[in-house]
Chain A
Amino acid sequence: RKEVEQDPGPFNVPEGATVAFNCTYSNSASQSFFWYRQDCRKEPKLLMSVYSSGNEDGRFTAQLNRASQYISLLIRDSKLSDSATYLCVVKDNAGNMLTFGGGTRLMVKP
């Protein structure tokens, strides 16, 4: 079983739609969680950190469920520019290393 698992997609949604991705992690000792965005053939960039209480940044909402060991990303009112691959990242504080999921590809269509 992979340490961090994501549905690879693609998720094809129309502009204006709400879309949600989940990511599961296997290491219960994981302490920090992040979503990164990667455009096609480009480098990943930090989208947002995921806090225990959940957090929102504009149209993006991230949630953490420790009991079930998953994190989620909700995108409201999708824009064409949201088309990208979203990478779930988990940090184990013991080793300070980041483990990346395989990414979920989102395609927003007009």
Chain B
Amino acid sequence: DGGITQSPKYLFRKEGQNVTLSCEQNLNHDAMYWYRQDPGQGLRLIYYSQIVNDFQKGDIAEGYSVSREKKESFPLTVTSAQKNPTAFYLCASSIASTSGELFFGEGSRLTVL
């Protein structure tokens, strides 16, 4: 079955530790995205990638880093510089950046203690 897989689903970390969230897709989509969702708020774009080996900052990129070395993979690192890292992180892909239809993974819920 084609889809997007995020891991881990739940993650607890101590303050000051870097964390990497995995996102893999087998939909052959060019564009991939990372969003953050906080309670009562809409999704906010962290980073996006329109094609392999290229990525751009979204609205709230500070304290995060990404890589896009393979078309299928777009991992997100939450660094210790991110002031409020506890959130629900959603990875998505679309066939192209011009498409309005995003396919989301099931999300990773990060709690920093």
Question: A residues engaging B (CB < 8 A)?
Answer: 4, 8, 32, 34, 42-46, 49, 87, 89, 91, 93, 96-103
Contact = CB atoms under 8 A, between A and B. Distances in A.
Given A32-B100, A99-B42, A102-B40, 13 more contacts: A34-B101, A43-B107, A44-B104, A49-B100, A49-B101, A89-B100, A91-B100, A96-B97, A97-B48, A100-B42, A100-B43, A101-B42, A102-B41
B102 to A, nearest CB: 7
Give the interface size bracket for B toward A: 10 to 19
Interface of B: 35, 40-45, 48, 58, 90, 97-98, 100-102, 104-107
A2 B43 CA distance: 13
A46 B101 contact: yes
